[in-house]
Amino acid sequence: MNEKLKRLLTPEGVRDLLPETAGQKRVLEGSIQEIFGRWGYREVSTPAFEYSANFVGDMKDDLEEKVYRLLDERGRTLVLRPDFTIPLARVAAMHLANEPKPLRLCYGGSIYRYAAGQQGKQRDWRKQGWN
């Protein structure tokens, strides 16, 4: 393969969603959100990256080794969201602490984990859920 074509490839473990699949995904997500809404679940959305300090000590050991890390403009370590538990707990504690309990929240988005040596394994998982 020539060098120009190699630059156009996606990294291992991620993929492009082409128009038909992307459209089907959007329709399915809309249907899921409608059902959640009927049951009183409210949608929240968290950033794709968080401060690493939010995860230190709270992540399972096996997950700690699978996170993607990057630095912000001030040199602080960030991680791409490896799961939704901690970001949702942060949202609940910081923004919804005075809301009536139980909280009925739903979410969707991607989580990012490094899957070393596992050919064919996705590094970007799209996830829908509720808490």
pLDDT tens profile 51-79:
988 877 656 666 777 889 999 999 999 99
CA distances from 102 to 13, 73, 127 (A): 37, 38, 22
Phi, psi of 53 (to 5 degrees): -60, -30
7-19 pLDDT, tens per residue? Answer: 788 888 888 999 9
Q: Going along 39-91, which residue ranges are E strands?
A: 42-43, 49-51, 69-71, 77-80
Domains of the chain: 17-130 (3.30.930.10)
pTM of the model: 0.75
The mean per-residue pLDDT over the stretch 14-33 comes to: 93
- Alpha-helical (H) ranges within 7-130 are 19-38, 61-64, 85-95
* DSSP state for residue 84 in the 8-state scheme: S
